[in-house]
Amino acid sequence: MSFRLPVIVLVGTATAAMFGPSFGFIVRSSGGGAASRRLLSAVASARRARPPPTPMSTRLFRRDDRTTMMSTSVGSEVSANRPATAPPSPPPDGGDSGSSGTVRRTAALVLSMAVQRVLPGALRTSFHTPASSADGGFYLDFWHGDGGDGSADGDDKHVLLRERLKREMDDIIARAEPIVCERVTREEARRRVPAHGGRLPDGEDDGAMVSLCTVGGDWWDLCDDVDGGSADGAVARFLDDTGRLDPGAVALTSICRPEAVDGDSDTGPGVVQRIAVTAWDTKADLLSYKKRVGEAHQVAQSFGQLVNWGSGSLDELEYLCSCCSPTDGGGFLSGGPGPKSPRGPLNQKTRLTKESGPKIDTVDKPSTRLASPFVPSKNPGWLRERETIYDTIQSRRDAELALKPHDPIEVTLPDGTVLGRGGSGEHDLLSWQSSPLDVARCISDGLANVAIVARVWHHNRFGPDEMTLAGDGNDYDFGKGDEEGADDGARPGELWDLTRPLEGDCKIQILTFDGGDEAAKAVFWHSSAHLLGQSLEHNYGALLTIGPPIVGGFYYDAYIGDESLSETQFAEIEEEVRLSVKRKEKFERLVVTKDEALELFQYSPFKTALIAAKVPDNSRTTVYRNGDLIDLCVGPHVPHTGKIKAFTTLRSSASQWLGDVKSDQLQRVYGVSFPSKKMLKVHMANLEKAKERDHRRLGVQQKLFMFHKLSPGSAFFLPHGTIIFNTLCEFIRKQYRARDYSEVVSPNIYNLKLWEQSGHALHYKEDMFTFDVEGEEWGMKPMNCPGHCLLFASTARSYRELPMRIADFGVLHRNEASGALGGLTRVRRFQQDDAHIFCEEDQIEAEVIGCLDFMKFVYDVFGMTYKLELSTRPAKALGEKELWDKAESALASAMDDFAGKGNWKENPGDGAFYGPKIDIKVMDAMDRIHQCATIQLDFQLPLRFDLRYRKKGGATAADGADAGGIIEVESDSPSVSDGADDPDDPDSSPELPSDFARPVMVHRAMLGSVERMFAVLLEHYGGKWPFWLSPRQALVVPVGQNFAPYAEDVRSRLRAAGFHVDIDDSTNTLKKKIREGQLAQYNYILVVGEREQENDSVAVRNRMNEQEGDKKIEDVMVEFQNLCDTYQ
């Protein structure tokens, strides 16, 4: 069989997200005949590219400075050699050159070779690199005939495929296979390629020349379509051999889920799968790229994900493929929610977290500034014009709404109560008419009064859906939309305006500000940002850009020309907000087309740029109105402005449009709001307290720790800080002894094969410190769990040994981006009170209760409160649903026994992909939430390492049946457990003999990172450490130099008893010595003079300057020991 596929160009929102907005991508394959044309037609159909988006509006922008947007039609015919829009070929370079083009072309060959080894029979159908080399990226498409779309095997399959491919690529690189490129006839190419799975060339002239690449002398592939090569005789440049690639500089950024194609009688059905890669000269280059990705991610969080860094890079942070955005109207999915409903994605599925339009590119982007001068003015004329246009659009939507069916619906409450159809009959609820606020009133007027927003799970909608709704530029991730194909327990539901009509039968949850769901606060603060924006428009005629909620409040970025805002203007801003609150202006939601949105915001180049960039053609988005403010927004919002009873402006600063210093300067105004003035007062007091208690400031003052630029992210604990650190560890160790844990010490470095078997190499390798040891790649451990699996597997295990509790304070290293480092809360070197429990399935509940009791003891000692949340099976879960259900039931039962029913919360679909977990949210003295402790179940690592134990009643070990997967303790081999036949494929794990079972693994930590807990406690206590944890428990102060020898004797005796005692024998006055001791936060000041020397006593006063009188030294020791024993 031989065929040739024509060159086609596919462009649209998915490609814009993957390669930037300025060009499309190419799908190319060689071969010919009707069979191939039908195959490629099926591939192109599967892509379902959208119509091209409209270029960014250039109103008020200088034409020579505007940002260009992609505008290329689908199916554009281009030259068979090279598309007109593609970048020029790189200049010729030597075979050894490390130029980016040469490196990427070589990496593409290695990837193609790896794919054909992992997926026998796979055919490469495309290769392309972006116009900008800023991300070092390229992608390849492969056809292979596995007979389906691949989704039936679960999302874990394609995730694990990445790891297999990377390992195969590393192996090819390690062998340093020579690469030879030559021009040969089609006939010769056809002779060589078929036997090795390459693409089959065909043509009328068998004597025509093509480029053929040979790797290792026994593997060939065509390279005419590789950048740098063409049919006119030029041969693409490659490195001399695969070994010249740095394996640490090559990363697979994304693998799309397979897309089914029908094929034909020749090819048969199969799938097409896209693989994106980034490749660099050195690992340092890749780390630099990763740093840029981290910076871009931070910018994206502030600017609504408008920043694009190229092929898969932003999404790489979550190992998702950028071409798989849930809003692309088709295309591929990447480990996500499963096949889309034919009805298309729902509104909340696209809100705020993903976008379907092209992004605004910041790579080498020219300046974008307003062309005409801006003069601030109160109540500009375009406010009234905007309202007029809004009213016209609203009349159109009202007419559409009148056609919606008003049928009886069934609404289910969280406790199972059913209202409306199917309920008691007391409440009539209708589709497209009744709202969550009506449901809240059915429950109680009190709930309706305090309600902020609803969370809704529709399972039967009446009437046609609204069209796909695109984003607004604000980026916060509270409450994603329904995931088709998942049950209610595995999806978080849609956030829904209280006044927005319900569309059919649904489950509903009413959220309040202080009800424990962070989504309610985000919605409240988002609504408050609209009030802030309204005030800025009224006071200064500001052109608004984006105004998202953030942790602890909100902000709005606005353009007011060259003016800047200061605290002196906050009063007038807040006065305008007060008037809006007093008017109780309703928040109205309106669906608008892209053209209607452009008309509404024609006065603002910023809003029109957002619309052009984020709203695809032929789709709709939403705007919200309160009073005369009309803003591009996907919502949801509170019912009316009267809900926001307490509002304050915190600060203002300068920012830049899109975070680009070449663009217009904006004013960013921060604020915070609450449903009551009392809550605002408490919050402001806590803000002041937080400034005073910042652990970075207190750490310097108390000489506890330091950092140095020669080892960023790694703390130097000074003597007093080390005392606290060691005391925390010993505090946990004492509990280990009481709770039957066995502490171990495990290696700091491992061969990377360990992390490949565990699966961590796929997710964490780029966050690891890796290095070469005798020709093999090794790494500093970022976590302890794989090493503990080796310990468990080191010998035959019996049910009698379970539960086995293994604890480890090992040093961990994670290669955090430098921009993410911050004090002790985000470091590169740290220790955890890490432990793993290996137990039987029927022991899960008891072990979890034990962990919860451990946690309660720890945080009761610290004087901190906590909340428990059960995070259940996500849509991307690995493992059988039956096992998940059993584990979740055990966790829920344990939490009921520990905390009581109703005293914990469930987070549907928020569990880890490898097992459900209990999130423990701890509140400090300032009511701030910290997540330090954790309890997680893991079904996957025992499978990957083929962990097993002999069940009760099993046969003796004489038959050797338990030898599989065991690592010999004496072996120095770097190989890891044989484990499964294929550790990347859980289904390939060998079946266990009938008398064996796999343990369940429980990951748990009480403190979490000791460094982070150090910082949390330092701020929680405000630097006033309790005696048992204090590094400065007592200061001995002689009243004069004559009593210095006795003071030294007292100090020596107390230190010999194990207490942290210092002496101040300076010539300062007694009063000054005492005062300095109190400022240094010594728990006790022990004054000694003539009387104390005669009585073998000390005069005791505490750090609150309260005198406790004379006490014998022995009595002081007993009192101090009691404080330590009772953790006071």
DSSP 988: G
C-alpha to C-alpha distance for 1036 and 1086, rounded to whole angstroms: 5
pLDDT (0 to 100) of residue 9: 30
Round the average pLDDT of the chain to a whole number and report it. Answer: 76
- C-alpha closest to that of 683 among 571, 525, 546: 525
84: Cβ contacts below 8 Å, ≥ 6 apart: 78
Burial class (CB in 10 A: 0-12, 13-18, 19+), 1080: middle
Alpha helices, H only, 541-644:
570-583, 594-600, 605-614
| Residues 508/456, Cβ–Cβ less than 8 Å | yes
Please tell me the number of Cα atoms within 13 Å of 511 on its side-chain side.
28
Nearest to 497 by CA among 539, 452, 458: 452
In angstroms, the CA 13 to CA 355 distance is 9
Please name the residue that has the structure tokens 């939403």.
622
* 957, amino acid identity: A
Q: Sort 409 into a burial class: Cβ within 10 Å, 0-12 / 13-18 / 19+.
A: buried
Q: How far, CA to CA in Å, does 319 sit from each of 361, 601, 818?
A: 21, 36, 21
What length is written for the chain? 1128
CB crowding 511-548: b at 16 or more within 10 Å, else e: bbbebebbbbbbbbbbbbbbbbbbbbbbbbbbbbbbbb
Q: Which tens digit of pLDDT belongs to each residue from 299-353?
A: 444 333 333 333 333 233 233 333 333 322 222 222 222 323 333 333 333 232 3
- What DSSP letter does each residue of 217-281 carry, written as one string? TTEEEE-TTSTT--TTS------SBGGGS-GGGEEEEEEPPPEEE---TTT-SEEEEEEEEEE-S
Residue 663, Ramachandran bin (φ over 0: left; ψ between -120 and 50: alpha; else beta):
beta
Cis amide prior to 120 (ω within 30 degrees): no
For 417, how many CA atoms within 13 A lie in the half-sphere containing its CB?
13
The pTM assigned to this predicted structure is: 0.61
3-state secondary structure of 438: helix
CB 941 within 8 A of CB 790: no
Q: What integer pLDDT is reported at residue 120 of this predicted model? A: 79
Q: Write out pLDDT tens, residues 638-687.
A: 999 999 999 999 999 988 888 777 788 899 999 999 999 999 999 998 88
Which stretch of DSSP H or E encloses residue 47?
A: helix 34-47
List the chain residues with pLDDT less than 50.
1-98, 130-134, 147-155, 195-202, 204, 225-234, 264-266, 297-367, 467-468, 475-490, 957-981, 983-984, 986
Instruction: Using the Cα atoms of residue 779, residue 780, residue 783 and residue 785 in order, give the sign of their dihedral.
Output: positive
pLDDT for residue 976: 45
Alpha-carbon distances, residue 633 vs 420, 468, 630, 1102 (angstroms): 31, 14, 9, 57
CB 1064 within 8 A of CB 1036: yes
Q: Residues 685-691: contacts with CB within 8 Å, 24+ apart?
A: 686/926, 686/927, 686/928, 689/925, 689/926, 689/1022, 690/926, 690/928, 690/1019
Pull the structure tokens for residue 1067.
Answer: 């010539």
Query: For residues 37 and 262, is the Cβ–Cβ distance under 8 A?
Result: no
- Listed as own residue / partner, the contacts of 626-629 with beta carbons closer than 8 Å and 24 or more positions apart are 626/527, 626/530, 626/531, 626/534, 626/580, 626/585, 626/586, 626/587, 626/588, 627/534, 627/580, 627/583, 627/585, 628/383, 628/384, 628/386, 628/387, 628/534, 629/530, 629/533, 629/534, 629/537
Which residue matches tokens 């989704």?
151
* Residue corresponding to tokens 């270029």: 55
Task: Identify the pLDDT of residue 194.
Answer: 57
Residues 378-413 have pLDDT tens digits of: 999 999 999 999 999 999 999 988 888 999 999 999
Q: How many CB atoms lie within 10 A of CB 68?
A: 13
Structure tokens at 406: 């008003």
Sequence letter at residue 490: A
From the list 554, 563, 559, the residue with the least C-alpha distance to 544 is 559
**Side chain identity at residue 38, one-letter code:** R
CA distance 369 to 535: 24
